[in-house]
Structure 1
């Protein structure tokens, strides 16, 4: 299975200049634990960072920083690990395991954001594959 068939296509993004409070409100409104940070001035969505709810807790809440004056770019993870949308599920799992990450932005051949795959998406794809296998070999 290719990762583009298992990933979530609707990715919630935020420009790097936005405040941490704006990011937290967006996470709350969209029921997500991570945002892909993009360059607002770019023509296409290219991931330049990722911001998780854990990043906010560790960098802002625990340090008593001001979420209204702290920019997303200040606390995001700037080294974005991605996978190609044509990659297979096994490769995405290996990337996630190697880097110890639960969310993996998916990009096309030009580095443009096309989706995101989370551990839950991987579990779902694996369950679907196992169910198909079970049905193929079960007596009718």
Structure 2
């Protein structure tokens, strides 16, 4: 997919496992165990995502099982105590759900995960209906792109547009996802731009820029 970033829709898991608002506690645990996931979207009606129930949400029941919280704990952890007493997905879930759209870039999804401290994001359409799930592991799939594919994309989408007069004098080498740009450019010092654009190509691990700007000379002068 040359010329545009890879999107969440390219790497997400479709047909994601989910539970309804009224799913019992034990059914939620069973679904997580069966499908080997750490969180499940909670759906309502025709498939609208209203929340997410995670292992962390479920563990409050175990944490407070043998305890008698004092007033300070009750005041500071009111929401956690409420989840400890929950018996359905709707009572256990974190809401509203942190979601992402299929056309979001992988960088955008990664930032959401990092800022909100979540490992998986429900992917929703324009009206909030579940389309799939994207996980941290899904975002890392771009780094499985082979070196030959990366070489072609960097040359076609970075080198040739930036350096139309000297593209043939620029060498693009990729080894284990690390891009090396070497050779000379046609007068204008666009090497920093080339480095930035190459680094933005999905799947690139790092960039080594060895480009040297050389003024274009008039052979007759």
TM-score by length of 1: 0.83
Q: Which residue of 2 aligns with 1:10?
A: 15
> Residues 79-122 of structure 1: CA distance to partner in whole angstroms, max 9, x if unpaired?
21111111111111111122121111111122111011111111
Q: Identify the match of residue 88 of structure 1 among 105, 127, 132.
A: 105
> Residues 6-47 of structure 1: CA distance to partner in whole angstroms, max 9, x if unpaired?
1111211101111111100111112211111011xx12x111
Higher strand share: 2
Q: Does 1:103 align with 2:108?
A: no
Tell which structure's C-alpha radius of gyration is larger: 2
Q: Does 1:33 align with 2:34?
A: no
Bigger relative contact order (CA 8 A; separation at least 6): 1
Distance 1:112 1:122 in 2: 21
Q: Which residue of 2 aligns with 1:20?
A: 25
Distance 1:55 1:134 in 2: 44
Write out aligned runs for 1:110-129 (5 A).
110-125=127-142, 127-129=143-145
Task: Give ranges in structure 1 of 5+ residues lacking alignment.
Answer: none
Distance 1:35 1:9 in 2: 14
Displacement of 1:128: 2.5
Corresponding residue SS for 2:15:
coil
Distance 2:136 2:43 in 1: 22
CA RMSD of aligned residues (A): 2.3
Q: Identify the match of residue 55 of structure 2 among 42, 53, 56.
A: 53
Q: Which residue of 2 aligns with 1:79?
A: 96
Task: Name the count of aligned residue pairs.
Answer: 132
